[in-house]
């Protein structure tokens, strides 16, 4: 594997390592209960990771198309939640892990409800709850929702759809059983046609990485900037994915990978790391639970390598990054406006400090910022008469813990008492409540503000 040419290629290089490590794993078998799926090339293997800034890192066959199958279920569930609300949806579909296969015939004895929205029975009911004046309208809305999550217009594989319809006796049996039990109230054949179309939508590993990142980003697609659904809906969806998305492997998956995820029998697997990124994997050979063998192994290796388990962050207290931006600006590793920012910083190196904060900023992250700024202030030439100006770039901060807000307010107060100015670049406006901060929506605005203030006489 070639060494990365740029720092941004480091993530891709790590994906390449995982891909190359697993490419020889030929365990499992391609799904054949839907005849068209049996024609898939078993050697295909793609890994894609989409960050919340919209950058996608890829390794292997990430442009190969396959049908979304059960990977569609969380996203159709999101639409049903938005249309009907949590209570209405779960009056007809449970929220408990089934401990059984994706196509198991298992309904709640007292209500006839399927166990959760991720098994076939539950997904059929969920699809029926999507609003629409007709089956065509309902599917059009589902396709639009899938496309919005993916950030591009998706289409249906008509050959796979026909194959689905010809081999769907078990799903028909489930639907009629639920219709008789009262949990499926919509017409059976109409609902099944919509469900089969939903499962036959074509995607790539890159697409489902973006879809996972949209969930991880609280419902905003990081590629398009479009809000697809609410942060609350994403929370509900990822909760069900974490507990039920991997069927009878769900408990083992959560133990070993610790990420909300959903598999599909065409070989796709989507996972979300809340507040960080989405992961899309594709490899057609499946394990006994109907999940991609390579996909599961790759996701687990990535989760372990990056420390991504959902319970990891509270146990380790911080996943933040706090750094002086000088070297990064000089190397041109940030946004386009960084070139101008680097010039401003170079011309005012003794009076201007720029720090970039990323991730979840808690006590540990805020403490490191204070210590770093202490060191910078102590290193300033003693003969400087101009007041120092500090720019804090919070653009990539996913959350500020309450104690961090308090520590930043104390920093602002301390600086103000010494004639210094603190400017926060924060598009989300989270620092507005921090007393003493000058607020700028964009990093370039903050740097222009800083340039105007550097060399100004102290207030008072």
Which residues are designated catalytic? 70, 73, 195, 247, 265
- Return d(Cα 246, Cα 200) in angstroms, integer: 20
Q: Are 272 and 260 in contact (CB under 8 A)?
A: yes
With contact defined as beta carbons under 8 Å apart, do 77 and 117 qualify? yes
Of 111, 120, 117, which is closest to residue 96 (Cα–Cα)?
117
Q: How do beta strands 261-263 and 202-203 pair?
A: unpaired
- Residue 140 corresponds to which tokens in the numbers above? 């059009």
Structure tokens at 312: 């990891």
Residue among 409, 423, 407 at smallest CA distance from 325: 423
Picking from 200, 160, 207, 201, the residue whose alpha carbon sits closest to that of residue 62 is 207
Q: Name the nearest CA neighbour of 238 among 217, 268, 255.
A: 217
Q: Per-residue DSSP letters for 246-283?
A: TGGGHHHHHHHT-S-EEE-TTSEEEEEETTTEEEEEE-
Is the alpha carbon torsion for 238, 244, 249, 251 positive or negative? positive
- Residues pairing with 389 in the sheet: 352, 421
**SS3 label, residue 89:** helix
Alpha carbon distance 295, 272 (integer Å) = 14
Using CA atoms of 56, 60, 61, 63 in order, give the dihedral in degrees to the nearest 10.
Answer: 20
Q: DSSP readout, 194-235?
A: HHHHHHTBEE-HHHHHHHHHHHHTTTB-TTT--B-S-HHHHH
Torsions phi, psi of 98, nearest 5? -85, -25
Q: Could you tell me if 73 and 146 are in contact, meaning their C-beta atoms sit under 8 angstroms apart?
A: no
Dihedral angle computed from the Cα positions of residues 136, 137, 142 and 146, in that order, rounded to the nearest 10 degrees: 90
- Other beta carbons within 10 Å of 303: 22
């Amino acid at each position: 594997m070639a060494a990365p040419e740029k720092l941004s290629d480091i993530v891709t290089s790590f994906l390449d390592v995982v891909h190359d490590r697993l490419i020889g794993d030929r365990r499992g078998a391609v799904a054949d209960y839907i005849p068209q799926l049996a024609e898939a090339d078993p050697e295909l293997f793609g890994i894609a990771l989409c960050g919340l800034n919209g950058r996608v890192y890829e390794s292997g066959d990430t442009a190969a198309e396959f049908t979304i199958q059960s990977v569609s279920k969380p996203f159709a569930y999101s639409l049903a939640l938005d249309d009907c609300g949590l209570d209405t949806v779960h009056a007809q579909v449970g929220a408990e892990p089934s401990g059984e296969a994706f196509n198991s015939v298992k309904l709640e004895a007292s209500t006839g409800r399927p166990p959760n929205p991720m098994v076939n029975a539950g997904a059929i009911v969920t699809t029926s709850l999507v609003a629409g004046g007709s089956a065509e309208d309902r599917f059009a809305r589902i396709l639009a929702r899938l496309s919005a999550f993916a950030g591009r217009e998706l289409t249906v594989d008509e050959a796979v759809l026909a194959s689905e319809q010809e081999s769907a006796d078990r799903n028909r049996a489930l639907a009629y059983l639920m219709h008789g039990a009262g949990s499926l109230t919509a017409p059976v054949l109409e609902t099944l046609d919509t469900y089969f179309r939903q499962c036959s939508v074509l995607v790539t590993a890159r697409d489902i990485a973006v879809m996972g990142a949209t969930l991880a980003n609280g419902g905003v697609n990081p590629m398009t900037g479009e809000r697809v659904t609410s942060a609350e809906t994403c929370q509900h969806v990822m909760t069900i994915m974490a507990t039920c998305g991997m069927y009878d492997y769900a408990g083992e998956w959560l133990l070993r990978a610790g990420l909300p995820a959903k598999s599909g029998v065409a070989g796709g697997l989507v996972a979300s790391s809340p507040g960080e990124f989405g992961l899309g994997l594709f490899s057609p050979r499946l394990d006994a639970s109907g999940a991609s063998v390579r996909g599961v192994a790759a996701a687990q290796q990535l989760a372990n390598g990056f420390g991504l388990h959902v319970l990891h962050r509270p146990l380790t207290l911080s996943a933040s990054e706090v750094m002086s931006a000088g070297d990064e600006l000089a190397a041109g590793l940030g946004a386009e406006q960084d070139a101008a920012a680097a010039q401003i910083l170079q011309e005012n190196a003794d009076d201007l400090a720029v720090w970039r904060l990323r991730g979840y900023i808690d006590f540990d992250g805020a403490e490191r910022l204070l210590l770093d700024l202490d060191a910078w202030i102590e290193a300033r030439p003693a003969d400087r008469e101009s007041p120092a100006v500090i720019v804090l770039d919070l653009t990539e901060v996913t959350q500020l813990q309450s104690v961090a807000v308090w520590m930043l307010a104390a920093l602002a107060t301390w600086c103000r008492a010494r004639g210094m100015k603190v400017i926060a670049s924060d598009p989300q406006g989270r620092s507005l409540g921090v007393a003493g901060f000058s607020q700028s929506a964009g990093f370039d605005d903050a740097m222009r503000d800083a340039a105007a203030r550097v060399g100004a006489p102290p207030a008072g």
